[in-house]
């Protein structure tokens, strides 16, 4: 015989997170059920032990380390570089099939990246696709207003999916729920895609040019298949942005 | 958070103090190693620092922070997937821990027992009892239905029970 209140309900009820009707039903049952009373007592005790056993250790040094890194410089980006290089290789592997340097992508009604990889996409991929395909819908975390995707849909779509894949791999913490495409631009062989959400934004530049070595606030992700990838956070100076764009639009050959 | 966006170091430090215990425990519930958890905690706050000027307070700050931390931690684990993490954390100290029901022994036993839980249960239990998030917020962070989250918490606690039962007196003190 099945117990009328399951343990999950009991926990939710104890936390005051059941809706009113369900809460009434659980209350009515639990008040007279010795089994539920005992189980809840045990669960509370276990929860208290988890909390107590996870108590913090002195952390002044750790805090200082974070403060120094946040307010004292940008050395940590070196670590990014390693992660980005690996992620860029993955990105290029996907992108190569669709956008080798100089290739003009034929227009298709269905997004080619989705058509080809639809079955293999992860749940997060799917979510990003949904958000990007319906940029004015969804409930992003502090997402700003969207800017329409350019009309050159086929080419922009390829750039978009490549950039999404890259952004997801390169900036996993910046592509949480609600992250959405804000703007996509294609210029010559260079692509510039901006994502926003979660109270932040970032831009992925990709192109056949040499790319900048470094600009303040920019991370050069890597080079492969004739493409150079540059990822930029917020607050980069206009001149630096222009420099990045120009460097990526330049032919790779010298 | 809004003050952090203006470059207020004191506000940022306050944010650090308020969330460090919870976030490190939460990250550790995913990556299992304390050193890695501290590194990822630092990375989380560096990203928060960079995002602060554009932060729009539409979501709960705790949800925002835990989501960033979770994404970082999951990505880290994915990269290290080939490594047999159980061997790293399962130190076999649980029996020794049982000899004295003190706080240090509880910590050791808890760490060993948590390490053996499935990741979702470990995350959910930590978010509930260390981060002290409501189930609704845990569901947002973990992108799962609230009932599923509650089940993970329950199942996790049940599996922790054999290792923690001997520390019952400490739970009584806590109340």
d(CA A109, CA A121): 20
Long-range CB contacts for residues A182-188, cutoff 8 Å, separation at least 24: A182/A144, A182/A146, A182/A147, A183/A147, A184/A149, A184/A150, A184/A156, A184/A159, A184/A160, A185/A150, A186/A150, A186/A152, A186/A155, A186/A156, A186/A159, A187/A245, A187/A249, A188/A249
d(CA A159, CA A134): 17
Helices A34-53 and B119-129, interaxial angle, to 10°? 90
pLDDT at residue number A171: 44
- Find out whether A209 and A251 touch, Cβ atoms under 8 Å: yes
Name A230's bridge partners. A205, A220
- Between residues A207 and B29, the one the model is more confident about: B29
Read off φ and ψ for residue B57, nearest 5 degrees. Answer: -75, 60
Confidence bin at B146 (pLDDT 50/70/90): very high
pLDDT of A243 higher than 60: yes
Q: For chain B, give the percent of residues with pLDDT over 90.
A: 16
d(CA A179, CA A182): 9
Chain A residues whose beta carbon lies within 8 Å of the beta carbon of residue B53: 234-235
Chain position carrying tokens 């390490």: B115
pLDDT of A107 higher than 50: no
Architecture of the domain defined by B1-84: Orthogonal Bundle (1.10)
pLDDT of B141 higher than 50: yes
> Is the CB of A141 inside 8 Å of chain B's CB atoms?
yes
* Yes or no: domain B93-175 corresponds to CATH 3.40.50.800: no
SS3 B90: coil
d(CA A99, CA A116): 14
Distance from CA of B136 to the nearest CA of A (A): 8
d(CA B66, CA B157): 21
Give the nearest chain B residue to A71 (CA atoms).
B9
Task: Enter the tokens of residue A212.
Answer: 């900048």
Task: Enter the tokens of residue A95.
Answer: 């992108």
A141–B59 CB contact, under 8 Å: yes
Q: If you average pLDDT over each of A119-128, A147-156, A206-215, which comes out highest?
A: A206-215
B50–A7 CB contact, under 8 Å: no
Residues with Cβ within 8 Å of residue A161, at least 6 apart in sequence:
A98, A111, A113, A114
pLDDT for A47-98, tens place per residue?
988 888 876 554 555 667 777 777 654 334 434 444 454 455 555 544 544 4
Nearest to A176 by CA among B38, B36, B73: B73
Which of B58, B114, B143, B148 to probe by mutation at the A interface, max A CB count within 10 Å?
B58
Chain A residues whose beta carbon lies within 8 Å of the beta carbon of residue B63: 141
Interface of A with B in 88-127 (CB under 8 A): none
| Number of other residues whose CB lies within 10 A of the CB of residue A185 | 18
User: Would you kindly state where each structural domain of chain B is located, as residue ranges?
Assistant: 1-84, 93-175
Interface of A with B in 64-93 (CB under 8 A): 65-67, 69-71, 76, 83, 86
Task: Tell me which residue in A6, A49, A59 faces B170 most closely, judged by beta carbons.
Answer: A49
- Between residues B169 and A155, the one the model is more confident about: B169
A62–B147 CB contact, under 8 Å: no
Q: For chain A, give the percent of residues with pLDDT over 90.
A: 2
B68–A198 CB contact, under 8 Å: yes
Helices and strands counted in chain B (H then E): 11, 0
> Is the CB of A201 inside 8 Å of chain B's CB atoms?
yes
Task: Tell me which residue in A11, A46, A172 faces B160 most closely, judged by beta carbons.
Answer: A46
Nearest to A126 by CA among A173, A66, A79, A168: A168
d(CA B140, CA A177): 9
Confidence bin at B80 (pLDDT 50/70/90): confident
d(CA B44, CA B25): 13
A235–B53 CB contact, under 8 Å: yes
pLDDT at residue number B22: 85
Task: Tell me which residue in A12, A59, A142 faces B58 most closely, judged by beta carbons.
Answer: A142
pLDDT of B39 higher than 80: yes
Give the nearest chain A residue to B5 (CA atoms).
A199
d(CA B37, CA B111): 13
Q: Do domains B1-84 and B93-175 have the same CATH topology?
A: no
Task: Tell me which residue in A46, A65, A199 faces B55 most closely, judged by beta carbons.
Answer: A199
d(CA B44, CA A232): 18
> Is the CB of A51 inside 8 Å of chain B's CB atoms?
yes
A7–B151 CB contact, under 8 Å: yes
Lowest mean pLDDT among A6-15, A71-80, B71-80: A71-80
d(CA A248, CA A252): 8
Distance from CA of B116 to the nearest CA of A (A): 14
Q: In sequence order, which ranges of B130-166 are alpha helices (DSSP H)?
A: 135-142, 146-164
State the average pLDDT over residues B77-100.
46
pLDDT at residue number A179: 54
């Amino acid at each position: 015989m099945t117990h009328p209140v399951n343990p999950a309900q009991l926990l939710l009820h104890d936390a005051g997170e059941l809706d009113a009707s369900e809460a009434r039903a659980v209350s009515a049952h639990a008040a007279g059920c010795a089994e539920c009373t005992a189980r809840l007592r045990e669960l509370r005790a276990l929860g208290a032990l988890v909390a107590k056993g996870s108590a913090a250790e002195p952390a002044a040094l750790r805090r200082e380390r974070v403060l120094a890194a946040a307010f004292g410089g940008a050395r940590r980006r070196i670590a990014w570089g390693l992660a980005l290089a690996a992620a860029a290789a993955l990105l290029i592997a996907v992108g190569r099939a669709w956008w080798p340097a100089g290739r003009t992508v034929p227009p298709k009604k269905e997004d080619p990246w989705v058509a080809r990889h639809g079955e293999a996409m992860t749940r997060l991929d799917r979510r990003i696709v949904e958000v990007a395909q319906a940029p004015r819908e969804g409930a992003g975390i502090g997402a700003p207003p969207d800017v329409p995707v350019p009309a050159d849909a086929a080419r922009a779509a390829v750039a978009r999916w490549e950039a999404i894949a890259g952004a997801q791999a390169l900036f996993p913490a910046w592509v949480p729920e609600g992250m959405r495409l804000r703007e996509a631009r294609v210029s010559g062989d260079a692509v510039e895609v901006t994502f926003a959400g979660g109270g932040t934004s970032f831009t992925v530049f990709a192109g056949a040019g040499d790319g900048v070595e470094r600009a303040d606030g920019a991370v050069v992700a890597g080079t492969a298949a004739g493409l150079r990838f540059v990822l930029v956070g917020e607050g980069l100076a206009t001149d630096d942005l222009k420099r990045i764009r120009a460097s990526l639009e330049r032919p790779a050959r010298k | 958070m809004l003050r952090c966006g203006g470059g207020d170091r004191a506000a940022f430090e306050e944010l650090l103090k308020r969330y460090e215990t919870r976030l490190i425990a939460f990250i550790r519930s995913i990556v299992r190693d304390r050193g890695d958890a501290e590194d990822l905690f630092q990375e989380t706050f560096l990203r928060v620092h960079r995002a602060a000027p554009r932060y729009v307070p539409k979501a709960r700050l705790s949800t925002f922070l835990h989501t960033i931390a979770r994404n970082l931690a999951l990505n880290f684990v994915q990269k290290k997937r080939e490594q047999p993490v159980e061997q790293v954390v399962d130190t076999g100290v649980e029996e020794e821990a049982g000899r004295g029901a003190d706080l240090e022994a509880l910590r050791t036993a808890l760490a060993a027992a948590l390490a053996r839980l499935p990741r979702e249960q470990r995350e959910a239990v930590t978010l509930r009892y260390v981060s002290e998030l409501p189930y609704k917020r845990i569901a947002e962070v973990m992108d799962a239905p609230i009932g599923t989250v509650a089940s993970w918490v329950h199942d996790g606690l049940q599996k922790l029970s054999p290792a923690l039962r001997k520390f019952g007196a400490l739970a009584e003190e806590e109340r």
